[in-house]
Amino acid sequence: MEDVVTRPAVFILLGPPGAGKGTQARMLTEAFGLVQLSTGDMLRAAVAAGTPAGLAARSVMEAGGLVSDEIVLGILKERMRQPDIRAGVILDGFPRTAAQAAALDDLLAENGQTVSAAIALEVDDEAMIDRVAGRFTCAACGEGYHDRHKQTARPGVCDKCGGTEFTRRADDNAETARERLSAYHAQTAPLIAHYDDLGVLERVDAMGSIAAVSQQLARIVSRVSA
């Protein structure tokens, strides 16, 4: 009997800025042993390691250019070959456009894989603007908080690591949030139709509590990974 080759599951979280993609991805990595693959982190690691795709990215960045989709896909391809992703991955920040989604489909097909589930975190735009405008983050461990929705248990002290330094992104304000939502609807939201056509789209009401959304996501990951 031939051995059955198990391919790592590939999950994508779709949703506008403030929908909680980062928080939920971290919780899924802890619960299921998945690896969260951020395009920015992969890019920096590839450049530091001097991989072929990393060297290509470095030359572009040193020239002041934008790293192309082709290079990003090359870096993702390199990363997907590493042994620590056996349990599966969550893609963070990629794909963002229909062209990137199609290229990702082709990349996965080369290895006999497909996207296991594309999970759309469905939210209300005005609520997202409120969420984004109040966000702040622990400078030490990256745990996220909010002025109204998720304050630290002790004022000025991170619940996770005990850090006392916090940061706010300069673009976490209402005006920028509206611009980013507009860009999301124009470029990224069409991916929902793409993955719906492929039969791998899952919809989650992301307006509930972090715990409630996490439970919905956990059920999807458990079912798809079974």
**Residue 135 among the catalytic residues:** yes
Given 86, 169, 219, 223, the catalytic residue? 169
The closest of 192, 209, 208, 213 to 31, measured between CA atoms, is 213
**Residue 86 among the catalytic residues:** no
- Reported for 190-194, long-range contacts at CB under 8 A and 24+ positions apart, including other chains, are 190/98, 191/14, 191/95, 191/96, 191/97, 191/98, 191/101, 191/118, 192/14, 192/118, 192/120, 194/98, 194/101, 194/102
**Residue 21 among the catalytic residues:** yes
Given 96, 150, 178, 203, the catalytic residue? 96
Biggest distance spanned by C-alpha atoms of the chain: 61
**Residue 26 among the catalytic residues:** no
* Alpha helices (H) in 33-96, listed in sequence order: 39-49, 52-62, 69-79
**Residue 180 among the catalytic residues:** yes
Given 7, 26, 44, 180, the catalytic residue? 180
Q: State the catalytic residues.
A: 21, 96, 135, 169, 180
